[in-house]
Structure formats: C-alpha cells, structure tokens
Structure 1
Amino acid sequence: MSKMLYTTTLPGNGHWSLELRRGSLMKITDIEGGANVGMLFYNPRNLLERYNAPDTLKCQHTFKLQRGNCLYSDMGRIFASIVEDYSANGEGNWHDTICGNSTAELIEKQWGKRDYQTHRNQWKQNGYDAFLVELAKYGLGRADMASNINWFSKVIADDHGNIRLDTKNQSAGNSVTLRFEMDTMVIMHACPHPLNKSKTYPFTSVEIELGEAEPVSDDDYCKNFREENQRGFQNNALYYLSAK
C-alpha cells in the first residue's frame, strides 16, 4: 500500500523545487479551489533531458492530461505517471500543458504591479520568473525553459480556435497524484494561469504530499492506458539497465 511521508503547503504566489527518486509519489491538492500549479521536469543526471509537452500529447492522442497519462521527456522516457486524479465535484479534472506561464507584464496588466521589497509575502509573483528563480539553483536559465504543465487548469477552445480558461471544475479538494518512473528534478510554482481573468490576484495555496509508491505491476493502469506507454516504460527499463 502506498504511503505519504511528508506534507507541506505551497502558497499561491510561491515556488519550489526538489529531486524525487524513482518510485516516489507526489500528491497535489487544491485547498481552496481555483489553484494553478505550473510544473517542469528535468533529469537530474542529465539536465538537458526535460519534459516534452508535444510528445506527451501526441503519443497519447490527447489535448489534456488526466489519470492514465504519462509525462514524457524529450528522450522518449517517462518522468511520471498520473495515477490518481480526483475531482471534488464529480465532473472530472482537466490539466493544461499548452498555455505556458503568466509573465510580469500579464500580471501587472491584470492586477497591477506589486513587488516583494514593498509587499513581502503578498507580492504578485508570475510563473515565468518563479521558474527562473528555481532553475537558477541548478545552473539553468531562460534557454532551458520548456512548455510546462498547469495542474487544475482546464483550457477549452471554441469553433473559431479561441482558447479560454474554464473555471467550472476548479473546486476545493481537487487532487492529482504523480508516480515518478525515473529520478526527476521537479520545478514548480503556484502562480496564476496566464488565461486567469479573476478580479483579484489568486493567492490560492495547494497542499503537497510526498511518499512512496507500490512497484509497477504488469496490469498497471497508466502503463496500459496507451500502447505507446508500453514503449515508454521499456525505454525507462533500458535506461536504468544501462546505468547499472
């Protein structure tokens, strides 16, 4: 049985990074409703290998992320699998991986400028700069930024191709659980989605739980969710075999 060993809270303008070992679990819970968690993955043994949004979507024939989807690197390996995806209102979660980050310009236009020197913990951080702060800790920068995941953010398109953020299923208690299939450097923030049009800056916190997963079985849901995922797990097995 899986077990959680560590719990923390990431505030609505906060950012964090850590290395998670193969076999780790990360559960993220929207505490208040309306949260957005931007996330990137890197291989800590080779930081040139990172999350690849186009490959993740096209090889699984999807526009969104949900339970069963695997999160691919640009080397065809799987960083993590979405093993649980709980929707508090029963409508199902939908996670975005095409819209990228909010920027300082977007935040200022939408909610006005507020800096840390003046407003301390109530300042209005943006996702792009939050990622840069965390990436700098590992010698990475702007050139290393990739298209990120936005957990808990549903993005829909109309008949004319216009996209918008649909907030109907952003409920308190929504959660997503990731099982890491390889050692992974996780970079994250809880800053607003770039399409967020709320009247006030959303200081929406999330709970993060870390733990240990059960070994992956042959009938694992994520492993068998798409035929391509079988190859992704085989690529992981080869990677760890050659690393011994």
Structure 2
Amino acid sequence: MAQNLNPIPPDRFLWEERLPGGCHWSGVIRRGNALRLTDLSGRANVSALFYNAEEKLERYNMADTLKAQHTAYLTRGHALYSDMGHVLCSIVADTAGWHDTVCGVTSAELIRAKYGETSYQTHRNAMYRNGRDGLLIELGKWGLGKRDLVPNVNFFSKVVADEDGCLHFDVAHGRPGACVDLRFEMNVLVVLSAAPHPLDPRPDYAPGDVMLTAWHAGVPGPDDVCRNHCPENQRGFYQTEILFC
C-alpha cells in the first residue's frame, strides 16, 4: 500500500546523487543504512540487482522472495531475499505501491527495434542505452559478469496480467515524486540501471531521471513492519541477524 514518506533527518543524511534516465550505477550500502529512490518525472524505471557485498555468490532470488511472501510484486512491508534465505534489504516505505518482479531488462536488440539505432560516436550521452548492458558494465566493476545476471526488480513499473495471461505495462502508474525506501539488512552491493522497462509501449526513448538518497536508518526492531509482514519474514530476519551477532 502506498504511503507518505517521512523526511530524512539531517543528522542521518549520508549522500545524494542523481541517476540520469538510461544510465547505470552501483555501490555498497551497509547494514543499517537506507536508500531512497525517487522518480523525478513519472517515467522512471529502475532495474535493480542485489548481492551480498562480502560474498557475491549470494544474491537476490526472485522466486524465493515472491513465494515466501505470497506475492507477485513488491511494495511496503516486503523483504528481498537472497538465494541463501537471508534478507538483503526490505521496503520500509513506498508511495508508488507496485514494483515489477518478473519482466527482466531491455537488451540492445530490443532497444534498437523499438527506438532505432544510436551510438556514442553519433549521439554521445544522448545514445539509447539498454538495461542489460548497463547492469553488465556495473557488474564488471566488481569482478562479476554475464553469469551473475539474475532476474531483477523493476522499481516504479507496474505490469498486470489479463485473463489470457498476457502481461501489460501500466503507463498511468508512474507519477513525478514517487519514492521507495530500501533499508539494508546486510552489507549489499546494489546495481542499478535506469533504462526503460522492456514492456513500456511508449514510442519515444525518454527514461526518467532518478534521485538516489542514502541515510542511516538503523536496524529493525521487534515491531518492524517488514519483519512482521508474515511468519516467513520473521524467520528470514532472524537468519540474517545471527550473521551479525
């Protein structure tokens, strides 16, 4: 469920950076810190991957995340699980209300077929970037590569299925200023691409900019909304916390 977000206390603020539409970013967010993603134009899509920064073979697992919480999309109260049953991060606040988990990222071939051919030589920073290459560029900075690409989250994008099982992108879902707050329960390598969603039907290549804002949020208490979302999350948080005893 969407909600209003509290302002970040100045004494807990860490850093802020603008991620231009189509571009990519990566960095380590430590346990107890949080990252706010803000859709600045209403056209943002943030394809995200998460890895245990201390053992990168452990990474976000889409299937376990969804089946543990009996959901097909993510919003406030949900935890993002690794393939070892630990909680990498959790969604503590969300004004968007729905984040796609199943559609993957754009490829160079898809972008070329939808929007036309561009290159850095001809268009410089206005070139049309795709999500897969953006994620691979960032993964390469950390010694990772193609084999480390796994199903990702697409923040700010809503995709629904019709009665025949066909997936449809909800163009009306995005709005300027929508935010999602991720609190990190481990030391996590975060890899982001702001390229368009693969099912976005709009004919123009105009992915929205995203503001990244980090702050110290602290660790969750016993009454935490994500911990108590379901019994599976209570077990997941316990399994994660004993790693840091």
Task: Quote the Cα distance in structure 2 between the aligned partners of 1:4 and 1:86.
Answer: 20
1:101-134 alpha-carbon deviations (Å, 9 max, x no partner): 0000110010001112221110100000000000
Match of 1:215 among 216, 219, 223: 219
Structure 1 residue 44, shift from structure 2 partner: 1.4
Q: Matches of 2:76 and 2:115 in 1, distance apart?
A: 33
Identity score, percent: 46
8 Å contact from structure 2 (residues 45, 207) kept in 1: no
Alignment of 1:33-182 (within 5 A): 33-87=42-96, 93-182=97-186
Q: Give 1:34 shift.
A: 1.5
Q: Distance in 1 between matches of 2:121 and 2:79?
A: 40
Name structure 1 gaps, 5 residues minimum: 88-92
- Structure 2, unmatched stretches of 5+, are 1-7
Equivalent position amino acid for 2:145 in 1? G
For residues 67-91 of structure 1, the C-alpha deviation after alignment (integer angstroms, 9 at most, x for no partner) is 000000000000001000014xxxx
Q: Secondary structure at the match of 1:48?
A: coil
Q: Check conservation: 2:43, 2:207, Cα contact below 8 A.
A: no
Q: How does 1:187-226 map to 2 (within 5 A)?
A: 187-226=191-230
* Cα deviations by residue, 1:209-229 (Å, 9 ceiling, x for unpaired): 011003311111111011100
Q: Is 2:185–2:219's contact at 8 Å kept on the other side of the alignment? A: no
Q: What are the superposed Cα offsets for residues 141-178 of structure 1, whole Å, 9 maximum, x if unpaired?
A: 11110100000000100000000111212000111000
RMSD of aligned residue pairs (Cα, Å)? 1.1
TM-score (norm 1): 0.94
Runs of 4 or more consecutive aligned structure 1 residues displaced over 4 Å after TM superposition: none
CA distance in 2, matches of 1:47, 1:169: 33
Q: Match of 1:185, as an amino acid? A: L
Q: Whole-Å Cα distance in 2 between the matches of residues 6 and 237 of structure 1?
A: 26
**Distance in 2 between the 1:184 and 1:53 partners?**
16
Match of 1:135, as an amino acid? Answer: L
Code of the residue aligned with 1:198 in structure 2: it is: R
Residues 174-196 of structure 1: CA deviation (Å, up to 9, x unaligned): 11000000000000010000001
Q: C-alpha distance in 2, partners of 1:148/1:211?
A: 24
Aligned residues: 236
